[in-house]
A = this chain, B = another copy of it.
Amino acid sequence: MAVSKAAVDKRPMIERIRAAAIALFKARGYHGTPVRELAQAVHIETASLYYHFASKQEILFDLIAQTIEAMLDGVQLAIASESTPEGRLRVAVRFHVLYHIARQDEAFVSHSELRSLSRANYKRILVKRDRYEKFIRALLADGVRSGAFEIDDVPLTGTAILTMCSGVSDWFARRGRLTPAKVADHYANLVIRLVAAK
């Protein structure tokens, strides 16, 4: 029937705004997205947005903060059940890749729009991101200590691994040849190959 042409979105308005912001910021960027379009996407007027968020900047900050926090929580949970450095690194990589596919748009925006954060907000996000990077580097260092890994330069290798794995949020949509699980397995194998002792 004509009535239900557009399905009613039952989520709280604040979540619908977040979701719309993710899609629009990804497609056209933060500065490239007028607040008006954000409002249109959730079928309210521009002014009504300001009941939910103090500013456009606050929407961006909320979105990025949530994305990184969920990622750190997720990876910590993922490795908890593993008992070896290789096992922990493997599930961490799998989690990281799957997260960057499942929440591809958030991940993309959280990376590409860091520069659109205000100075103060940027600093708050960097703290969170550093925490995540240190966590991954610790996994590598553990493996080196136990003899499972052979790594010349742990910080550099850690960064290389993270940029490689985060990259999936860049290209996954373009070529959906492989399932997320297959891509994650593949990346886990690549990473192990990169660090494993002979």
Residue A30 at the chain B interface, CB threshold 8 Å: yes
Does A180 count as interface, using CB distance less than 8 angstroms? no
Q: Bound complex: CA of A28 vs CA of B186, how far in Å?
A: 35
Instruction: List the number of copies, as a whole number.
Output: 2
Most buried by B among A32, A156, A177: A156
B-contacting 9-mer, from A53-61, A64-72, A157-165: A157-165
- Determine if A178 is an interface residue (Cβ-Cβ < 8 Å): yes
A10: Cβ under 8 A from any B Cβ = no
Contact of B152 with A189 in the complex, beta carbons under 8 Å: yes
Least CB distance from A169 to B in Å reads: 10
A189 → chain B closest CB, angstroms = 7
Rounded to whole Å, the gap between the CB of A21 and the closest CB of chain B is 15
Complex Cα distance, B32 from A194, in Å, reads 38
Residues on B with beta carbons closer than 8 Å to the beta carbon of A161: 164
A52 CB, min distance to chain B CBs, angstroms: 23
- Give Cα A16 to B124, complex, Å: 35
* Residues 161-185 of chain A, each 1 if its beta carbon lies under 8 Å from chain B, else 0: 1011011001100010110000100
Q: A29-B32, A153-B178, A164-B167 are in contact. List 18 more A-B contacts (CB 8 A).
A: A28-B31, A28-B115, A29-B30, A30-B31, A30-B32, A31-B31, A31-B32, A32-B115, A32-B116, A155-B175, A156-B186, A159-B171, A161-B164, A163-B163, A163-B171, A190-B194, A193-B193, A194-B194
